[in-house]
Amino acid sequence: MDADDRPAKMFVAVWPDRTARQTLAALDLGHLAELRPVTPEQWHVTVRFLGGVARRRTAALAAALDEAARSVPGPLTCTLGPRTEWLTRHVLVVPVTGLDPLAAAIFETTRLVVAPSGGGDGGPGLGTEPFRGHLTLARSRARQPRAELRRALEGHGCAVSFTVEHVDLVESVPVPGGRRYDTVARSPLVSSPGSPPRR
């Protein structure tokens, strides 16, 4: 198989800023033996899950993200919280609001490059279900976690907002012990100081 046709697992994401990361880091999840926590460098909000994508489509996806970024009035504010909740029976998340216009624009500009897919990260895929923004904190090691664990971990306050300055095309790369997230392309959403207004 040609390297350009070899599929890479990709998704479109935004990343929390320093203040949001500090707020998330301050959460006392406890019960770590029963959880697989997401590492801070992997905290992100999936705007569209793409699945396996041939590398030759990367340039087209980057162009589609640029188009979406130009179409969404900025700046956008992403709000996390106000409390932790379970997305599924074994995925603990912080719900996210404020990204629906961006998610819709990205779906429209990328759907001809990569067809709608199922969800990653335990959640629905954009194009098969309505977008449901969330940031994953941890996964239970058991598919059916104890009811006490579920009650202990839901409802922790973690309300914080951040400005979305760019949206990234990200490749999920398998590494020993897990995965590494590499940014493949970046599309700015907020004009830098002194730059001409976006048209």
Q: Is residue 193 part of a domain?
A: no
Report yes or no: 137 and 20 within 8 Å, Cβ to Cβ: no
Query: What pLDDT sits at residue 119?
Result: 43
Alpha-carbon gap, residue 123 to 44, rounded angstroms: 14
Q: Is residue 43 part of a domain?
A: yes
100, 147, 139, 144: which is closest to 120 by C-alpha? 139
Q: Is residue 147 part of a domain?
A: yes
CATH number of the domain enclosing 21: 3.90.1140.10
Q: Which domain range does residue 134 map to?
A: 3-188
Q: Is residue 113 part of a domain?
A: yes
Q: Is residue 80 part of a domain?
A: yes
Q: Give the CA distances from residue 8 to residues 3, 51, 56, 124, 187, in Å, rounded to whole numbers and listed in that order.
A: 10, 8, 10, 20, 20
pLDDT in tens, 47-91: 999 999 999 999 999 999 999 999 998 789 999 999 999 999 899
Spell out, as residue ranges, where the chain has pLDDT lower than 70: 1-4, 31-32, 117-129, 190-199
Q: Is residue 198 part of a domain?
A: no
Query: What pLDDT sits at residue 137?
Result: 95
Query: What pLDDT sits at residue 152?
Result: 86
Domains in the chain: how many in total? 1
Q: Is residue 199 part of a domain?
A: no
Q: Is residue 194 part of a domain?
A: no
